[in-house]
Amino acid sequence: MGIKIISTGNKLPKHVVYNNELAAFLDTSDEWIASKTGILSRNICTDESLTDLAVEAANIALTKAGLLPEDIDMFICPTISGDYSMPSMACCILERLGVKRPAFDINAACSGFIYSLDVADSFIRAGKAKYILIIAAEMMSRVVDWQDRSTCILFGDGACACVVTAGDSLKYIRTIADAQIAPLYTQAGRGSSPFLKINEPSPFLQMQGQQVYKFAVKTIESEIHFALDALNMQANDVDYFILHQANTRIIDGARSRLKLPPEKFPMNIQKYGNMSAASVPILLNEMLEEERIKKGDTILMMGFGAGMTAGTAVMVWE
């Protein structure tokens, strides 16, 4: 027996930033951002910490599952933008929830949620945990340069928690890393070492957009085919492809190459932008709340991002 997701919960910052607000201090426009990315707005933290968002999302998911924090055996937090370099975001969440359990972060960038599902599946199959809480939480507003119009327009903040336990929902999962750093990275600071002979790097996210686009579209197509072949399925057998919300052009490009209709590729990037590891579970939660996903539906979830990493999971919803 593998795993299933029994509840989800989202928490977004209360402040919404629309494209025309960015145009007030960047050489851009609402029309340009919308046409190039599909993004109309994003939620940005003001007086919230990422821990605040993550704890609220965790409490929502726990309440839906009818569980208390002490019922959870392990806490996993996929993130690249935690409130501290150390301790982990997972430990920050644990402190606020008032429990002591194994807790750790996963840095697989935008693929982090799928990587976390893979880890949770392994622990539950091994009998080392009954309930695992995955809390995908990202404050991308803290890693972008707000004077760089090529990157800051793309990202938003948010958190989603999922309670995972034993079940037969997960039919397939695969994670990969293509080992390319240059297309997308944020370099760590150098500290104040008097011995260092390397120039101080930029602390902000750096991205080569065309390389990211090519990797994403190619990888979405190849990994979806890999999953379908492994399950002896056709693309039309999948009810929804819940992909990382990076750019509408990436999703539309992959969809057209797969020759599938738009209704199989739900999107919320227009409202939230790219939320890195949190984007896939936040979209999943929205679809569950809207009752768009029903028992027996086949869901293919996929993340792709810095590393370059990718992860694909196929679930039949229980």
Question: Per-residue pLDDT for 1 more than 80?
Answer: no
15 is catalytic: no
Distance between CA atoms of residues 268 and 211, nearest Å: 23
Q: What is the pTM of this model?
A: 0.96
Q: Which of 160-164, 215-219, 297-301 has the lowest mean pLDDT?
A: 215-219
Residue 14, both tokens: 């209360």
The domains of the chain, with CATH numbers, are 2-168 (3.40.47.10), 172-316 (3.40.47.10)
Of 81, 71, 143, 125, nearest in space to 101 by CA: 71
Q: Pick the catalytic residue: 10, 43, 107, 274?
A: 274
244 is catalytic: yes
Q: Pick the catalytic residue: 110, 152, 160, 162?
A: 110
Is the bond leading into 287 cis (omega within 30 degrees of zero)?
Answer: no
User: Mean pLDDT throughout 200-228?
Assistant: 92
Amino acid at 257: R
Question: Per-residue pLDDT for 200 more than 80?
Answer: no
Q: What is the Cα 117 distance to its own chain's centre?
A: 12
Residue 283, both tokens: 């979209």
Q: Pick the catalytic residue: 45, 91, 160, 244?
A: 244
Confidence of residue 98 (pLDDT cuts 50, 70, 90): very high
43 is catalytic: no
